[in-house]
Structure 1
């Protein structure tokens, strides 16, 4: 029998009922669980006198978990430790997690000890692990059923996770807005949506000392001109953004979300009792997602339009064939880039 000795100690051997050196060993076991054959590592005590393996109560429990966790891994289910880790990240007890999920109060205890969860519950637990925003909504719904202290601890933990992952949520939301435009090259400029490039384009403009008073309206126009000019020169845009015609000119779809992306140097300021969004970047930075060709196009846009005021660039945009030939609030086709004024 192949076994690995991990510990030896003198104690009363419950196998032969004599005191001697008892070894703790690991053995590879084969078993069938729920009609699935599994191979796992089991822990035993070994008696040299009787030359027999035996288990204490703790080992029985651990070996049972090892068997079932091996099965879980084989079937793509969360292991008992992974379920415990979900609770730990949200700082929530087994009982309270059952409360917010609407499950029996011992369900999580069983999943972490001896019972294998079904696929429906496993799917819910996986979503919980990946989605702090969903956890927060469930937590809020169950607030009255939790103690004030339990609610506070889990709220703090989940909020911290949500804030850490906020950019990821934002990107997924923006990508969802753009899903319907997939395959329409005249609307996305023959380029896939590249949010890293979107951020770097904004940062590039914000870092330029050749652009005056860079507020949101002006920024949106500069972005459209950059993508339109790129399409005109090489047949594909820089960012893959889709623009629509609004009263003040071209604006990318989901623009309000785009300016909240991580790395966008946006500051909300109050001007004449109106909130405005100002973009400025003074530090020395790199723009890793932009190619030299991209930067060359951005430099042309900066040189041609950077000194224009908001009203001047809006008026200039209103003279573009792309704007004149597009109904208000419709998406702007890149086919008009050939007649670009710059």
Structure 2
């Protein structure tokens, strides 16, 4: 028996006013054929050496027992269900409505009833797949007020963005897991937070920063820092493409959270003009790395796309690397800028 706290009150066991302990006891019980161990809460009267279970404690102890059962058989606990619902900012009633389960179903699952396996699977899918929850929310649109629907859609969209970003991060990191040779990534591990900060810093200083130019400026920044300090900044690996060096996974990198761009149309062509993300701070970049970025901006900030591609084509690193192959940092010493 473990004492959690004590308070002076009228004891309902001995009917005298004194310090009553709130205690925690480990209990064993069988529920649905499963032997369970869980913690229950009681009031304890030292005068009578007896325990009292209030109405509120009866509810909490019953839920603790059922949550112990849920854990044992691999179901979501009541707290897990609450967390999933609150992640989307949805009320109990509306969550049941969106799932088309009956208006009080979620309330029961969060308070006293153990869910069945089918409902548990649905809740797990909602937790892991915000896009699917958005689809269910759209189906339930007519059963919700327009204000409530808009609020839930916004929250679900934010969750989807977070999930999408994690998918992107995992995909990029999986690609880079194959690069065991440190000279490929500039003797540093891939740091996507730094990559995002580099893109934002360049976008904040360069007036017209399109994708091709951005990729070249990232390459020059990493190689210049390697030339000066024996290591790159980002941990990116660069591939030699016909228009110059680009980071491995560049199409996914530009979609990461914290990277912002406008879509610009030039006749039938589409371009991406990068811009700084409001509120994003530089927490990862060191001063020596920022200095290198400044030097690259000073050198190439006013170059147009064709000019920086031509400059890239004249670099020894590019000339000595076969097309579509990784450009090693061993050529950094021969970079045309210091």
- TM-score, normalized by the shorter chain, greater than 0.5: yes
Matching residue of 2:60 = 62
Q: 1:250 touches 1:323 (CA, 8 Å); kept in 2?
A: yes
> What is the Cα-based RMSD across aligned positions, in Å?
4.6
Distance 1:283 1:96, change over 3 A: closer
State how far apart, in whole Å, the 2-side matches of 1:7 and 1:73 are.
36
Which residue number in structure 2 is paired with residue 230 of structure 1? 225
* In structure 1, distance between residues paired with 2:276 and 2:153: 32
- Report the equivalent of 1:188: 185
Alignment correspondent of 1:87: 85
**2 CA distance for matches of 1:314 and 1:51?**
85
Q: Secondary structure at the match of 1:32?
A: strand
SS of residue paired to 1:218? helix
Match of 1:136 in 2: 131
Q: CA deviation at 1:221?
A: 0.4
Q: 200, 205, 210: which one pairs with 2:197?
A: 200
TM-score, normalised on structure 2? Answer: 0.72
Check conservation: 2:24, 2:40, Cα contact below 8 A. Answer: yes
Comparing 240-249 with 105-114, greater Cα deviation is found at: 105-114
Structure 2 residue 145 is the aligned partner of structure 1 residue 148: no
Aligned in 2, Cα 1:80/1:178: closer, same or farther, shift over 3 Å?
closer
Partners of 2:134 and 2:159 lie apart in 1 by 18
Question: TM-score by structure 1 length?
Answer: 0.71
Alignment of 1:314-325 (within 5 A): 314-325=309-320
Mapping of 1:245-264 within 5 angstroms? 245-264=240-259
- Give the 3 Å change call, closer, same or farther, for CA 275–58 of structure 1 in structure 2: same
- Unaligned runs of 5+ residues in structure 2 are none
Q: Which sections of structure 1, spanning at least 5 residues, go unmatched?
A: none
Alignment partners' CA distance in 2, 1:128 and 1:300: 48
Tell me what 1:157 maps to: 152
Q: What is the Cα deviation at residue 298 of structure 1?
A: 2.0
- 1:28 match: 24
Q: CA deviation at 1:97?
A: 5.3
